[in-house]
Amino acid sequence: MAQTGQQNQTSGQYGGQGLQISDRDLLQLALNESKHLAEAVNTYILEAGSDQLRRDYMTVLGDLYSQQKQIFDVMQQKGYYNPKNANPQDLSQAQSKFSSQNQQMQ
């Protein structure tokens, strides 16, 4: 990969034109695709016709979660992905909301 400034770039061809994709974009794409795939596999688990198939899909889902974590860690190490911590007031409000919803369902 060629260095451009402080970000690595990957060159490719698209319609005869040069295409520059940064490492950050590639990692973001990989993370997003992994999330979508995990969502699909979750649906397969819920709709599986046999216990063995369900267990197999659950194994695949665990592997996907491990891959997501690895991608997330690389993005965080490179400074590409820095989620903010929730403030205590927001956490308290969310807990109260879900606690009251849970009580209503019982």
Most confident by average pLDDT, 71-75, 78-82, 100-104: 71-75
Sketch the domain layout of the chain as residue ranges.
Answer: 23-81
Distance between CA atoms of residues 6 and 80, nearest Å: 12
Provide the pLDDT for residue 106: 77
Q: Which residues contact 22 (CB under 8 A, 6 or more apart)?
A: 7, 8, 9, 10
Provide the pLDDT for residue 82: 85
Identify the band that residue 3 occupies on the pLDDT scale cut at 50, 70 and 90. very low
pLDDT of 2 above 50 = no
For 10-22, write each residue's pLDDT tens digit. Answer: 544 455 567 888 9
Q: For the residues 29-55, what does the mean pLDDT come to?
A: 97
For 57-69, write each residue's pLDDT tens digit. Answer: 999 999 999 999 9
Identify the band that residue 6 occupies on the pLDDT scale cut at 50, 70 and 90. very low
